[in-house]
Structure 1
Amino acid sequence: MSENPQTPVNQPPQGPEPIFLLPAGIAVLAGVLIAIHLASTFVLNPDGQVQLLFWFAFQPYRIVLAEVDPTIVIPLIWTPFSHAFLHAGWDHLLINVAWLVIFATPVVRRYGAGPMLVLFLLSAAGGAALFAVTTLYSQVYLIGASGGVAGLTGAAIRFMFQPVLVATHPETGERVVLGRRLASIRDVFVNPRSRWFTLIWIGLNAAVPLVPLLTGSSLAIAWQAHLGGFLAGFLLVQLFERKL
């Protein structure tokens, strides 16, 4: 059998570069969010959708109702986390998935898929906690991945704006890229880029309650979940940090 002399031997075939370099953990989480919304939209009937919200949306008012029926608080064991997998519509879902892809990617590449998911869930619970404090008697419920995604945003801010650390190998003298260090809270606000990103992000979300007053819109955005989730991810990310 003859070989084509123009074809290098033992060289992998050259193919097109992948368009999206999305970590598998993010693709799986985004796929789960989309699959749940597909099922709730096209499989469940209206009664089923009500039951889905009853059992898996987060409703702080259950704490008040516990005086009448103690069993009503049982879903509060899981709903601080499960509410993050439900969405009110396709626009709500797609915005959260896009934000997830942007800010979960650096977290996954630094810590791995497992820590990213833990941060997502803890941040969702942090967002639910602040939502409960501010809406306890309102009988409203919380759904959406916004709190978890906000937490991943807060986590990424702790390192994504920091300078890259470079060291010299003690034996070869080769320059080795170590990555970006995790900034202290003080350093986040000393660095101009991370400071302004953080302040603008917090300011925009804190201003959400003023939107209906200024525009007359009935837009319902759970700004408390955004701020609570952001703060949780911002503070808890250091639990996953490893020394260089």
Structure 2
Amino acid sequence: MVENGQGPQQQAVSGREPVFLLPGAVTAVAALFVVIHLASTLVLNPEGQVEFLFWFAFQPLRIVAAPQDPSLAIPLIWTPFTHAFLHGGWEHLLVNTAWFAIFATPVARRYGTGPMLAIFLVSAAAGAALFAATTLLTGAYLVGASGGVAGLTGAAVRFIFQPVVVANHPETGERVVLGRHLARPIDLWRDPRPRFFILIWVLLNAAVPLLPLLTGSMLSVAWQAHLGGFAAGLLMVGLFERPRRQ
């Protein structure tokens, strides 16, 4: 791979290494998370922050209120996606940004910017749909990138545990790395490494609603968005797989 317009020999001569090892699109989205949070916390007053959440956070109660006032349902057009760029605090932002960088990077490098963003946004919407199905009448609202990032996690699980395929170049005989295969969903269950990862990940999120029974306090984690987003990314990543040149 050539980065910043410099090949390996040019980098050796200049003695410089790329400052950011993340793909440009991943860095840009992570920066957007930070900019939006800075603007919402440092620029907006409390009333403005309430309005900001009203228009861009995902609120399932709008679905119920729509028959009485259809205008309340209009934000449902964009909020299943825009909620993924809002965060409830700096800790929430930092965790989601780090998680995004870790799993968006292999997906972006394998498929490119467009597919990575498509998986992120569709998974965010899938997470919002499952969140709505379980909180419809509670008045809760959803913010955070975790549903979309869970989708990128599910997409990455399809290939990061697969062995690297190496072959001989037909003309030079040199050993060439071809990459990793995309595992079928059934193969993930047969392979103990992705199976263990998926089981632990699903069980941890599924246990969140049971924690109040043990601790007596609620944990403000949108486990529904995590599960819905993960399933979406795991299933849809195959749409972007293309036959690789041998």
TM-score, structure 1 normalization: 0.92
Aligned to 2:214: 214
Aligned sequence identity (%): 69
User: In structure 1, how many angstroms separate the alpha carbons of the residues matched to 2:218 and 2:136?
Assistant: 20
| CA deviations over 1:177-202 (Å, ceiling 9, x no partner) | 11001000011111111110011001
Aligned equivalents of 2:190, 2:103: Cα separation in 1: 21
The residue number in structure 2 matching 1:5 is none
Partner of 1:28: 28
Give the AA of the match of 2:165: L
5+ residue gaps, structure 2: 1-9
Q: How does 1:1-244 map to 2 (within 5 A)?
A: 13-18=13-18, 20-244=20-244
Deviation digits for residues 128-180 of structure 1, max 9, x if unmatched? 01101111111111000000010000000000000111223333333221100
* In structure 1, distance between residues paired with 2:212 and 2:110: 39
CA distance in 2, matches of 1:29, 1:77: 21
Unmatched 5+ stretches in structure 1: 1-9
2:120–2:148 Cα contact (<8 Å) kept = yes
Aligned residues: 235
Residue type of the partner of 1:72?
A: L
* TM-score under structure 2 length normalisation: 0.91
Q: Who wins on radius of gyration, i.e. which is larger?
A: 1
After TM superposition, the structure 1 stretch with the greater mean CA deviation from structure 2, 165-174 or 34-43, is 165-174
Report the secondary structure of 1:177's partner residue. strand
CA distance in 1, matches of 2:58, 2:20: 34
Supply the distance in 2 between the matched residues of 1:63 and 1:190 (Cα, whole angstroms). Answer: 40
